[in-house]
Amino acid sequence: MLKTRLDLDRIRTARGVIDPVFLNTPLFRCEALGRALGCAVDIKLETANPVRSFKARGTELVASRLADQGRAAVVCASAGNLGSALAWSGRRRGLDVTVVASRRAPAAKLDRIRALGATLELVDGDFEAARKRAAGIAQQRGIRLVEDSLDIETCEGAATIGVELARRASSFDVVLIALGGGAMATGVGHVLKALAPGVEVICVQPQGAPAMTRSWHQRRVVTTDSTDTIADGVAGRFPIPAVLDDLLLVADDAVLVQEASIVAGMRMLLEHAGLVVEPSAALGVAAVLEDPARFAGRRVVTIVCGSNVNLDDYHRWVGP
Amino acid sequence: MLKTRLDLDRIRTARGVIDPVFLNTPLFRCEALGRALGCAVDIKLETANPVRSFKARGTELVASRLADQGRAAVVCASAGNLGSALAWSGRRRGLDVTVVASRRAPAAKLDRIRALGATLELVDGDFEAARKRAAGIAQQRGIRLVEDSLDIETCEGAATIGVELARRASSFDVVLIALGGGAMATGVGHVLKALAPGVEVICVQPQGAPAMTRSWHQRRVVTTDSTDTIADGVAGRFPIPAVLDDLLLVADDAVLVQEASIVAGMRMLLEHAGLVVEPSAALGVAAVLEDPARFAGRRVVTIVCGSNVNLDDYHRWVGP
């Protein structure tokens, strides 16, 4: 038995609560991408849904629980995707949703949060500043604060991806997971270690936002003073101790990749798979690009976790 | 009872034969696209699979039948997507696959056919020239010729999309279907007319390749001397009489759209849904753009049927 905070039965039960539009997402071999990378690559596509990221798997659980409890309001800090997802899940259940985000977050993400009817509050500073402000709002108004990766629903929601992968585990050797706060990595990792322990679980983070990866290697929380990456969705500085504890139990490795590899990964996903993705979603491909020998001839799954990106940023990075 | 060549029981049985990677594709509301178009838009996404189009639903049936019969080889003419799909389905079953295509077909499509191990023969002229050559090869070698839209497997394979749509038919009013040879339109149309007769079935074709649409309106086969459209996947000149007969029974309307609208549709699918699609997949959006009053406030499904496009063509059409 894995001693993480997650529980396989609760994860399976969660699948009955999440709107099916977010479940059973495509998992398919992309031969063109595999040829270019020198390994077999399966894409787990988490962008073909109303919020264009995997985050609603978790917010569906949060919002459903709040509605059951008769609660009326909820607040979260977000780099963007959690906010959109919570806005979507909350609107469906009549919840008053407040999202706090950094003024520097991509306009595409901020626009979608507003369009979904949430109250959006912008703060100066980065995601960590938004976290503080959201906590203040929660305390002041006496409403639920959703903390990504700390709150178990966010991890168990992401873990439902793992359930879908585990069903097909005989067809791959490695799963590459974008690492930010750690909800997806601990969630998917927990399920795979429980149901398919032979699958290698590798977390991937940008060198420009390495706090959780450094923490995993040093087996203690390591923070950073700043972040510098285009992968806005995974750019945290303060790893959460409980999440790190879980990650230490379920991840086989955590690697850092350069910005140039993230951009190259985005370009390859466009050229070989026809997918426009946000930088965080290209971390897996970037990891293969940086260490081809490690993956040569192996069967790799990469989770394409979001596609919310400003198109002009995208074109500037990836080219026409 | 609808008197088409299709049969609902056979279509349901077909779902058990088709590789699940092609089934139960995403169907999701894209609010951003809907806001831009003035109606609610659901996307049925047929591109997140190993061949990036819906065509494998049909070729899975063809190849499975041939394997059951102990046949060793098969040939088809293709604008590109049928060829890739048949190559994929045939390779899995050890079939020797030959694809005949026009030299003018997009390199992206031709490259994928070759990469999947099929023998690719290129002909001068258009798709109709490829059809003739494929028929010649079939006769000469005594092997099965797969004729898109005429062969019932291609229609019943496409019809499995209709089964998936019919389950959610209470959530939409109209389905927009790209119209080429007619396999998708007659297949999806048959199922919807049988299971959800309240849903309006509208076929969309480019003005530059209007043969089937003109035939539908005149209730007799009308051919054209040439085609002139970027929507290479639907550019036929000789409608098949039996397919037209079926289409007359299941389509509520068939409309033509301009090239500029197809490009605008591709651009909107990129901007609002993050999807890179081939021109044929934007026909539904183009139809809404050309007649917004018809769709205003209604709930529309558009089937995004393929994403095999040369990226340099794409950028030239859609812009950076």
In this prediction, residue A313 carries a pLDDT of 97
Residues A117, A111: Cα–Cα separation, whole Å:
10
Query: What CATH number matches the domain at A56-146, 3.30.460.40, 3.40.50.10790, 2.60.260.20, 3.40.50.1100?
Result: 3.40.50.1100
CA distance B71 to chain A (A): 26
CA distance A106 to chain B (A): 14
First to last CA, chain A: 50
Handedness of CA A77, A255, A272, B318 (dihedral sign): positive
Does any CB of chain A come closer than 8 Å to the CB of residue B270? yes
Answer whether B308 sits within 8 Å of A274, measured CB to CB.
yes
Residues A191 and A166: beta-carbon distance below 8 Å: yes
In this prediction, residue A2 carries a pLDDT of 81
Does any CB of chain B come closer than 8 Å to the CB of residue A316? no
Pick from B49, B112, B276: CB nearest A28: B49
B308: confidence class by pLDDT, cuts 50, 70, 90: very high
In this prediction, residue B244 carries a pLDDT of 98
Answer whether B45 sits within 8 Å of A50, measured CB to CB.
no
> Over the Cα atoms of chain A, what is R_g?
18
Nearest CA in chain B to A49: B28
In this prediction, residue B172 carries a pLDDT of 97
Does any CB of chain B come closer than 8 Å to the CB of residue A307? yes
Written as tens digits, the pLDDT of chain A (320 aa) is 689 999 999 999 999 999 999 999 999 999 999 999 999 999 999 999 999 999 999 999 999 999 999 999 999 999 999 999 999 999 999 999 999 999 999 999 999 999 999 999 999 998 889 999 999 999 999 999 999 999 999 999 999 999 999 999 999 999 999 999 999 999 999 999 999 999 999 999 999 999 999 999 999 999 999 999 999 999 999 999 999 999 999 999 999 999 999 999 999 999 999 999 999 999 999 999 999 999 999 999 999 999 999 999 999 999 87
B222-279 confidence digits (pLDDT tens): 999 999 999 999 999 999 999 999 999 999 999 999 999 999 999 999 999 999 999 9
Answer whether B26 sits within 8 Å of A43, measured CB to CB.
no
Nearest CA in chain A to B21: A28
The phi and psi torsions of A209 (rounded to 5 degrees) equal -150, 65
B135-188 confidence digits (pLDDT tens): 999 999 999 999 999 999 999 999 999 999 999 999 999 999 999 999 999 999
DSSP letter string over B88-104? HHHHHTT-EEEEEEETT
Looking at residue B112, its amino acid is: R
Residues A10, A88: Cα–Cα separation, whole Å:
23
Nearest CA in chain B to A276: B274
Domain B8-53+152-318: state its class. Answer: alpha beta
Does any CB of chain B come closer than 8 Å to the CB of residue A45? yes
For residue A299, the SS3 value is strand
Does any CB of chain A come closer than 8 Å to the CB of residue B81? no
The phi and psi torsions of A317 (rounded to 5 degrees) equal -75, -50
Our measurement of the distance from residue A110's CA atom to the centroid of its chain's CA atoms, rounded to an integer in Å, reads 17
Pick from A48, A115, A315: CB nearest B26: A48
Q: B272-298 as b/e, with b when 16 or more CB fall inside 10 Å?
A: bbbbbbbbbbbbbbbbbbbeeebbeee
Answer whether B35 sits within 8 Å of A115, measured CB to CB.
yes
Residues B298, B300: Cα–Cα separation, whole Å:
6
SS3 readout for B223-268: CCCCCCCCCHHHCCCCCCHHHHHHHHHHCCEEEEECHHHHHHHHHH
Does any CB of chain A come closer than 8 Å to the CB of residue B271? yes
B2: confidence class by pLDDT, cuts 50, 70, 90: confident
With 0-12 / 13-18 / 19 or more C-beta atoms within 10 angstroms meaning exposed / middle / buried, residue B204 is: buried
Question: Which of A165, A230, A221, A152 has its CA nearest to residue A193?
Answer: A165
Looking at residue B129, its amino acid is: A
Looking at residue B266, its amino acid is: M
CA distance B138 to chain A (A): 29
> Over the Cα atoms of chain B, what is R_g?
18
Share of chain B above pLDDT 90, in %: 98
Residues A131, A76: Cα–Cα separation, whole Å:
8
In this prediction, residue B173 carries a pLDDT of 98
Answer whether B311 sits within 8 Å of A270, measured CB to CB.
yes
Answer whether A48 sits within 8 Å of B43, measured CB to CB.
yes
- Domain residue extents for chain A: 8-53+152-318, 56-146
In this prediction, residue A144 carries a pLDDT of 97
Question: Which of B285, B50, B302, B93 has its CA nearest to residue B184?
Answer: B302
Between the alpha carbon of residue B180 and those of residues B5, B76, B165, B221, B235, the distances in Å are 18, 16, 20, 14, 6
Mutate to test the interface with B, among A21, A88, A307 (most CBs of B within 10 A): A21
CA distance B95 to chain A (A): 19
Residues A7, A194: Cα–Cα separation, whole Å:
10
Nearest CA in chain A to B51: A30
In this prediction, residue A177 carries a pLDDT of 98
Between the alpha carbon of residue A252 and those of residues A198, A199, A203, A248, the distances in Å are 11, 9, 8, 8
The count of CB pairs under 8 A between chains A and B is 69
B284: confidence class by pLDDT, cuts 50, 70, 90: very high
Pick from B25, B276, B320: CB nearest A270: B276
Nearest CA in chain B to A320: B320
DSSP letter string over B196-225? -TTSEEEEEEETTS-HHHHHHHHTS----S
Pick from B31, B50, B277: CB nearest A31: B50
Contacts of B221 (CB under 8 A, 6+ apart): B215, B238, B239, B241, B244
In this prediction, residue A320 carries a pLDDT of 73
Residues A82, A198: Cα–Cα separation, whole Å:
31
Q: How many helices (H) and strands (E) does chain B have?
A: 14, 10
Nearest CA in chain B to A307: B274
In this prediction, residue B320 carries a pLDDT of 74
Within this chain, domains B8-53+152-318 and B56-146 share the same CATH topology: yes
Nearest CA in chain A to B320: A320
Answer whether A274 sits within 8 Å of B26, measured CB to CB.
no
Does any CB of chain A come closer than 8 Å to the CB of residue B167? no
Residues B5 and B246: beta-carbon distance below 8 Å: yes
Mean pLDDT throughout B23-28? 98
Handedness of CA A268, A269, A275, A279 (dihedral sign): negative
Contacts of A43 in chain B (CB under 8 A): 48
Question: Which of B216, B170, B224 has its CA nearest to residue B197?
Answer: B170
Answer whether A276 sits within 8 Å of B271, measured CB to CB.
no
Answer whether B276 sits within 8 Å of A275, measured CB to CB.
yes
Q: How big is the CA angle at A4 (ends A305 and A179), to the nearest 5 degrees?
A: 25
Mean pLDDT throughout B113-141? 96
